[in-house]
């Protein structure tokens, strides 16, 4: 039975065996793929169809939630000056539907939100999706690091918050500023 924790993982350049061992180590039995485009130019084992087969062999469920949680939305209202705005994505009905699916799924599965980036801080799975999983659903978020260790959302954000440490702002405001600053760096920009 699952608990109130959602995990995240980046497939990075991990071999199939390494990736599966990371999932098994943390008893993950469902992957929610949050990539907008579920294909990898350099790691074809992570193409949607290939990944689904790999996971099935290890009794791990797969669901594609790129429409709900992807960082490269097709919704033009979510862009400002050619750059996607995470708060606008979070206010779409698709994103809200994705949160409902996670809320339902976590009652039966140990879910890992999967994207491609190795470092959680460099990925929208942390700055966009995990943020709202915590804020809207009240779930814990733990990031599976490449070495297999777990880090909480707070641990991942700590370096960013320290860069925005300001005596005049509450911790909540400092966290909000940290999210916005990192979003400006990593959010998708239209070509």
pLDDT in tens, 57-70: 999 999 999 999 99
* Dist. CA 106–CA 139, nearest whole Å: 9
pTM over 0.85: yes
**Bridge partners for 84 per DSSP:** 79
Residue 83's contacts (CB-CB under 8 Å, 6 or more residues apart) are 184, 187, 188, 189, 190
* Confidence at residue 175, expressed as pLDDT on a 0 to 100 scale: 87
**Bridge partners for 63 per DSSP:** 32
**pLDDT tens, per residue, the chain with 191 residues:** 457 999 999 999 999 999 999 999 999 999 999 999 999 889 999 999 999 999 999 999 999 999 999 999 999 999 999 999 999 999 999 999 999 999 999 999 999 999 999 999 999 999 999 999 999 999 999 999 999 999 999 999 988 887 666 667 787 888 888 899 999 999 999 98
* Dist. CA 106–CA 155, nearest whole Å: 22
* Confidence at residue 1, expressed as pLDDT on a 0 to 100 scale: 43
* Confidence at residue 2, expressed as pLDDT on a 0 to 100 scale: 55
For residue 60, give both structure tokens.
Answer: 């791990």
CA–CA distances in Å: residue 168 to residues 158, 161, 165? 18, 14, 9
* Dist. CA 104–CA 86, nearest whole Å: 23
* Dist. CA 25–CA 173, nearest whole Å: 35
Residue with token string 């699952």: 2
Alpha helices (runs of H) in 34-85, residue ranges in sequence order = 48-57, 66-69
* Confidence at residue 165, expressed as pLDDT on a 0 to 100 scale: 66
């Amino acid at each position: 039975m699952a608990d109130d924790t959602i995990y995240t993982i980046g497939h990075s350049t991990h071999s199939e065996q390494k990736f599966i061992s990371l999932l098994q180590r943390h008893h993950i039995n469902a992957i929610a793929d949050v990539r907008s485009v579920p294909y990898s130019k350099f790691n074809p084992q992570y193409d949607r169809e290939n990944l689904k087969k790999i996971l099935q062999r290890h009794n791990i469920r797969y669901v594609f939630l790129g429409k709900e949680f992807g960082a490269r939305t097709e919704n033009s209202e979510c862009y400002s000056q050619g750059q996607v705005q995470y708060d606008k994505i979070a206010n779409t009905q698709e994103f809200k539907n994705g949160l409902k699916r996670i809320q339902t799924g976590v009652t039966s599965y140990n879910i890992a939100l999967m994207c491609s980036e190795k470092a959680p801080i460099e990925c929208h799975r942390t700055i966009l999706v995990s943020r709202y999983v915590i804020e809207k659903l009240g779930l814990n978020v733990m990031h599976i690091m490449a070495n297999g260790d777990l880090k909480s959302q707070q641990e991942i954000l700590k370096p960013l918050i320290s860069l925005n440490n300001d005596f005049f702002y509450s911790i909540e405001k400092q966290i909000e500023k940290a999210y916005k600053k990192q979003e400006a760096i990593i959010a998708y920009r239209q070509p």
